[in-house]
Amino acid sequence: MTWSYVVRRLLQSLIVLKGVLVITFLMLHLTGDPASLMMPEDSTTDEIAEFRQRMGFNDPLLVQYGRFFVSALKFEFGVSFRQGEPAMKLVLERIPATAELALAAILIALVISLPAGVISATRRNSVWDRVSMLGALLGQSMPNFWLGLMLLIVFAVWLNLLPSHGRGGLDHLILPAVTSGLYATARITRVLRSGMLDVLGEDYVRTARSKGLRENMVIYQHALKNAAIPVVTVIGLELGIVLGGTVVVETVFAWPGVGRLTVNAIMNDDFPIVQAAVFFLAFMFIFINLVVDLLYAWLDPRISYK
């Protein structure tokens, strides 16, 4: 790995972040007059005009964007209109809950998908292969909100085994984590199966078997590592998707994370929180993809970053 590659990828990430800032800024203006949306419905025309002047909405759009861009570089997105606190501070307070849910979902996905993908590839066209692919198909077909509601009805309402909402102990985490993780499980399983089938036909795998190595060593030390690059890519993408997709899951299970905070902010026209949350989620997605790119050389020494 060369530092020039890292610097180049960081510069590319900054360009993407700038694009995200443009989009988050325009969100405030594409929905209509910001002052009219933010002020209470019973506000008078003079009160709205005074608020518009105080917030700088009368300035040219480029001036407003420049002011917004400078503030965003300092991670300042204004003060929440409803809660009266800095928007980024409110988002940062919800990060632990969202990170806990996302990591639990990815852990569930890996625990299920890695053995399922390996077994499906090594026992191709067997009953295990068909069951794994059927499960992957169902996992990718079910929307998060529908799956979450079904799990909630069955395990929280009918069976009364797990809590239906809120954040607490491990029992509160199970239903939302499973809901978020099953879609990632399906995709990782399919990608791993495809990668393993390609690798198992390579000459070095046949050579390892001809040397008398145990089958488990051939599969996990030779085949799996070489099939891991597309899997790592998908895991990185799924982690970013899970972070963003928790908006739906957190709403269904009343999980106090960034997603639920964003939904409430949208419902209340609290644009500073929406902008801060969108920027944070985009930043995390870009960071995760950068880490995944840097992992390629460690997984496959043939990859060069020159």
Q: Write down the domain spans for the chain.
A: 3-73, 87-299
- Tell me: the pLDDT tens digits for 135-188? 888 887 888 888 888 999 999 889 888 888 888 888 889 999 998 888 888 888
Provide the token pair at 219: 């599969």
Average pLDDT, rounded, for the chain: 82
* CA angle at 236 for the pair 151 and 128, rounded to the nearest 5°: 55
Provide the token pair at 185: 């499980």
Q: How far is CA 67 from CA 132, 141, 152, in A?
A: 53, 44, 45
User: What is 87-299's CATH number, 1.10.760.10, 3.90.1150.150, 1.10.3720.10, 3.30.70.2740?
Assistant: 1.10.3720.10
**CB-based contacts of 114, cutoff 8 Å, min separation 6:** 188, 192
Higher pLDDT, 228 or 115: 115
- In the chain, DSSP assigns E strands to none
Provide the token pair at 235: 């895991």
Provide the token pair at 241: 């998707």
Say how far apart CA 209 and CA 204 lie, in whole Å: 9
**CB-based contacts of 45, cutoff 8 Å, min separation 6:** none
pLDDT reported for residue 52: 81
Which residues lie across from 86 on neighbouring strands?
79
**Mean pLDDT computed over 27-35:** 72
- Tell me: the pLDDT tens digits for 75-113? 888 888 778 888 889 999 998 988 898 889 999 988 988
Q: Are 88 and 274 in contact (CB under 8 A)?
A: no
Other beta carbons within 10 angstroms of residue 171's beta carbon come to 10
Residue type at 58 in one-letter notation:
N
